Amino acid sequence: MTSMRLTRKHILSGRLCRQIWSVSEKRPCPLMGIRNFSNGKDGNGGNSYENDYIYDEEGNEKIRPGGGKTRDLKKYFKESISRVLSPEADIPRSTDLVIVGGGLVGSAVAFFTAHKQTKKERDILVIEKDPMYTRASSALSAGGIRHQFSVPENVQMSMFTTDFLRNIKFFLGEIDEPPPDVQFNHHGYLFLATPEKVAKLDELVKMQRYLGAEVELFSAEKLKQRFPWLNLDGIEAGSLGLHGEGWFDPHSLLAALKKKNISLGVQYVNAEVIGFTKKLDGNELSEQYALSSVIMKDSNGKMYETNCSQVVNCAGPWAAEIAELAGLGTEPGLLSVPLPVQPRKRFIYAFHCHNGPGISTPLTVDITGTYFRREGVGGMYICGASPESEKEEPSIDNMDVDYDFFNDKVWPRLAHRVPAFESIKLKSAWAGFYDYNVWDQNLIIGGHPVISNFLFANGMSGHGLQQSICVGNAMSDLILKNKSTAVDLTRFSFDRILRNEKVCEDFIV
């Protein structure tokens, strides 16, 4: 197909839309950067973005660098998966700690627990059913991290993760090896606000600054001076993260965490949890019980049972299924309340704009909730938005991308806010899942009042990537000390659901 540049008006009029969006094969790239879902220019995945691309002014591939960090990371990631998460990996008959889910949250829990042990006090087993992370939330996310939240604990959790990334060599470095490079881009987040929202935004910025976040409130005049590419129609102010915010490569962080975990003795297995066995915790009059073993099957359908002392639910969007296997939502009393976490599908679109905002552009969140950010050099951007209502939530039965959502919702908003985006070239798109807490869109962490050894680390509702490190640290404290020490996350316990209390976050993107 001949390369062409179309304006939004062309697409909206229906002309040539099939030529720009003829996506014949949908596959997620297992690495950082753009995920391309087409067969590519050569029909054999030639435009699959295995490495960072450089584009000419028309958005066409100009150079494909070889032998870079991205290729090395992909090689290591594949080797580690085949070595550690193969069906043939030994599944132990017993272990101390079982972590269900080997993504960023589960791997962070495993790391901090293993890292803090003065000696090998606990054997740690991580069970992951999707070793290629084809449906993993963190792997398919936009990679953002911000300190701009309305709930103080959310600010503190993201700041904790930023500090970890700044000191990643200390935590995850190996002797005689270069430190992990997670490609942290410190360009910040920019939240725009209408006149009606300015007073509230100013109040939140003061709270964030009090907690140590480097955030500044800009008037419309200052926004125009700093970001001349913005159309400020309907905008009175905006808050900008000056330091510690931006985006990074989640796959690099996950690979580094897993590599370190393995060196610390953590075991990963490729299997799916299908049940638990239970026992009374105490005497026969006790209302509490404990999970005594986890039942799983490998990719060949072979069944295993592993005795355990504690279970941590880090299953992301599918956490409610694991909780139900443990007994939540299946029996009377306190067990009648299910874990209120559901998978919610979100789309990320990658496009090229030859005269768009420059390399230092922050991740910009419009008043409509639509966001965009730069993706490397060469005029590439990624963008997305959440549905406006429950009725518009897309099906979670597949990984298909809704291009009409981009055409009808996302692009018009982008073009209104950034006039240069009237003329863009859509390059690729992919879908991922939020572990969406339908109760109040916030983290659920800690234990259950009836199941004494079953712990939650769920429901971060799109914030899991930026909160995973702090959650992993907090969970390790609960496991080892029965209390959280770095950030007080008491308000996020499962008990708040039983008490009919909510912790509401205003900054959901």
Please provide the DSSP assignment of 429-450 as one string.
EEEEEEEEETTTSS-EEEE-SS
Pairing of strands 267-280, 423-437: unpaired
Which helix (H) or strand (E) segment holds residue 110: the answer is: helix 104-116
pLDDT tens readout for residues 126-171: 999 998 888 888 888 999 999 999 999 999 999 999 999 999 999 9
Question: Which pLDDT value is given to residue 72?
Answer: 52
Cβ count near 430 (within 10 Å): 21
Question: Which pLDDT value is given to residue 62?
Answer: 39
Indicate the DSSP class of residue 246.
Answer: E
Question: Which pLDDT value is given to residue 466?
Answer: 95
Helix/strand/coil for 82: helix
- In whole angstroms, give the CA distance from residue 333 to residue 282: 19
Residues of the chain with pLDDT > 70: what percent?
82
Q: Are 72 and 78 in contact (CB under 8 A)?
A: no
- Show contacts of 59-68: CB within 8 Å, 24+ apart: 59/3, 59/5, 59/352, 59/354, 59/378, 59/379, 59/425, 59/427, 60/3, 62/378
Residue labelled with tokens 């390790």 = 476
pLDDT tens readout for residues 369-394: 999 999 988 999 999 999 999 999 99
Residue labelled with tokens 């791997």 = 107
- Region(s) of the chain under CATH 3.30.9: 6-54+346-434
- The dihedral over CA atoms of 368, 465, 383, 441, expressed in degrees to the nearest 10, equals -20
pLDDT-derived band at 69 (thresholds 50, 70, 90) equals: very low
Mean pLDDT of all residues in the chain?
86
- Region(s) of the chain under CATH 3.50.50.60: 92-140+251-342+439-498
Q: Does the pLDDT at position 282 exceed 80? A: no
Residue type, 72: D
- In whole angstroms, give the CA distance from residue 444 to residue 341: 9
What is the dotted CATH code of the domain comprising 6-54+346-434? 3.30.9
> CB-based contacts of 446: which residues, under 8 Å, 6+ apart?
455, 456, 478, 489, 492, 493, 494, 495
Q: Does the pLDDT at position 485 exceed 70? A: yes
Q: What mean pLDDT do residues 99-112 have?
A: 98
Question: Which pLDDT value is given to residue 78?
Answer: 54
Indicate the DSSP class of residue 368.
Answer: T
Question: Which pLDDT value is given to residue 482?
Answer: 87
- In whole angstroms, give the CA distance from residue 192 to residue 199: 13
Structure pTM?
A: 0.84
Q: Does the pLDDT at position 254 exceed 50? A: yes
- In whole angstroms, give the CA distance from residue 81 to residue 449: 36
Q: Does the pLDDT at position 358 exceed 50? A: yes
> CB-based contacts of 499: which residues, under 8 Å, 6+ apart?
none
Question: Which pLDDT value is given to residue 175?
Answer: 87
The more confidently predicted of residues 7 and 207 is 207
Domain at 92-140+251-342+439-498, CATH class: alpha beta
pLDDT-derived band at 32 (thresholds 50, 70, 90) equals: very low
